[in-house]
């Protein structure tokens, strides 16, 4: 007799059915679909992400081996590799983009009070990108170089909880700075970026939107120093200056003042120069904000190592974007679960535990309960003793 919900079903239960169906209806995902719905597609793809399946054939084989439990997973109908491949190729990837945005909003509320390494009440975002290499023969639409294909994953990460709030998928040859045109800037928030995003015309948009940026300065920057502020060199800060751009070609693009901070990292002995349009925060706080940018690098490393976004189940543009967005949904679901259960385990540990317990019928809180192995201190030896 069926005694309870499967672990995988409990995880996907975090998705509100009506919200999911609204995403499907928005893009007519189930139009003329009789058996294999978008929900079935999502469950199969999420199962592949959660259990580290390498291909659609792996997904099909694993699910068919537990055909008696597919109903309890929420999957209706027969799982077929060809049908799933067709769904990934034809059904609009924006369905899962919109679903991810709904999950992200929930996760950000749960992680709103997470520390970010600096005493700030404002939201702090890190903007960066990572390149995912592809085979040019299989993905000719993603040509990057003469003999190489790639897509680029541009991500805006909320440093409170490392939740991605904006993701854009472009071809590998697109310049990082162009993704700034797709962002809707939040007044009062901080945006931390590396030197690849230094474009003064685009940086001035932060000023106009009442938002703040922190970025690295390029070595050939031409400027005039207007003011030098006192600094405490023991903190690593070497200088704190108010400057104005001097190059005639850049002055029209950024006519306001800038703050330039020279900082030396005591651990690595690296000399770093930051630019920002915030003039009130201590210089050391600006340096700590930039240090927090590495969380987005860790996010890229995590999803590449633990989710399936380096080996794709389909070769079309739609199939690639569908797989990436469903992987983001799985990442955010795990983050939501971690917070709701109040677990101290890492996201990696939670993902691993879920992967080996997907078909178990235990409450989620029970499988994450720490149970240390018992060690019996008994002098009695149960092994045979041989006397030679």
Nearest to 91 by CA among 19, 22, 29: 29
DSSP track, 341-377: HT--S-HHHHHHHHHHSTT--S-HHHHTS--PPP---
pLDDT of res. 110: 93
Sort residue 273 into left (φ over 0), alpha (ψ -120 to 50) or beta: beta
Nearest to 274 by CA among 297, 296, 252, 241: 241
In this prediction the pTM is 0.88
Q: 353, 11 in Cβ contact below 8 A?
A: no
pLDDT of res. 208: 96
Beta bridge partners of 60: none
Please give the Cα distance from 363 to 375 (Å, whole number). Answer: 26
Nearest to 50 by CA among 318, 372, 337: 337
pLDDT of res. 370: 55
pLDDT of res. 3: 58
Please give the Cα distance from 14 to 316 (Å, whole number). Answer: 29
**Residue 103's CB: how many other CB atoms inside 10 A?**
22
pLDDT of res. 161: 86
Q: How many residues does the chain have?
A: 388
Number of H helices, E strands in the chain: 13, 10
pLDDT of res. 388: 38
pLDDT of res. 77: 79
Q: 73, 65 in Cβ contact below 8 A?
A: no
Rounded average pLDDT per 10-residue block, the chain, 388 residues: 77 95 95 90 95 93 91 87 94 96 94 81 92 93 91 94 92 92 94 94 96 94 94 92 94 96 90 95 93 92 90 94 96 95 91 93 84 42 43
pLDDT of res. 356: 93
**Residue 304's CB: how many other CB atoms inside 10 A?**
14
Please give the Cα distance from 87 to 40 (Å, whole number). Answer: 10
Cα dihedral: 155, 160, 165, 166 (round 10): -20
β strands within the chain, DSSP E:
124-134, 143-145, 148-158, 163-171, 190-192, 212-216, 223-229, 237-245, 258-264, 271-276
């Amino acid at each position: 007799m069926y005694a309870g919900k499967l672990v995988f079903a409990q995880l996907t239960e975090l998705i509100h059915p009506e919200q999911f169906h609204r995403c499907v209806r928005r893009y007519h995902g189930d139009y003329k679909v009789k058996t294999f719905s978008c929900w079935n597609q999502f469950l199969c793809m999420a199962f592949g992400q959660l259990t580290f399946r390498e291909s659609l054939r792996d997904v099909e084989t694993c699910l068919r081996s537990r055909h008696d439990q597919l109903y309890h997973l929420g999957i209706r109908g027969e799982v077929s590799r060809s049908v799933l491949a067709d769904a990934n190729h034809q059904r609009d990837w924006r369905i899962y983009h919109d679903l991810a945005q709904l999950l992200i909003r929930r996760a950000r509320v749960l992680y709103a009070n997470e520390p970010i390494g600096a005493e700030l009440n404002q939201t702090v975002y890190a903007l960066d990108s990572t390149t995912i290499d592809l085979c040019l023969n299989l993905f000719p639409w993603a040509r990057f170089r003469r003999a190489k294909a790639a897509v680029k994953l541009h991500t805006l990460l909320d440093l409170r909880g490392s939740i991605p709030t904006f993701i854009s998928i472009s071809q590998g040859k697109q310049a990082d700075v162009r993704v700034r045109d797709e962002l809707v800037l939040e007044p009062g928030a901080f945006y931390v970026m590396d030197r690849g995003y230094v474009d003064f015309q685009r940086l001035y948009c932060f000023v106009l939107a009442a938002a703040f940026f922190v970025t690295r300065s390029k070595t050939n920057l031409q400027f005039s120093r207007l003011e030098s502020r006192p600094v405490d060199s023991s903190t690593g800060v070497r200088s704190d200056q108010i400057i104005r751009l001097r190059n005639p070609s850049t002055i029209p693009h950024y006519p306001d003042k800038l703050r330039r901070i020279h900082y030396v990292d005591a651990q690595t002995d690296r000399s770093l120069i930051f630019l920002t349009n915030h003039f009130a925060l201590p210089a050391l706080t600006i340096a700590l904000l930039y240090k927090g940018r590495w969380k987005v690098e860790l996010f890229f490393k995590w999803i590449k190592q633990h989710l399936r976004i380096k080996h794709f189940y389909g070769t079309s543009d739609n199939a690639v974007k569908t797989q990436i967005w469903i992987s983001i949904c799985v990442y955010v679901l795990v983050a939501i679960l971690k917070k709701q259960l109040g677990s101290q385990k890492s996201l990696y540990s939670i993902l691993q535990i879920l992967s080996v317990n997907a078909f178990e019928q235990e409450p989620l809180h029970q499988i994450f309960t720490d149970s240390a192995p018992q060690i019996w201190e008994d002098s009695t030896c149960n092994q045979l003793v041989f006397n030679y």
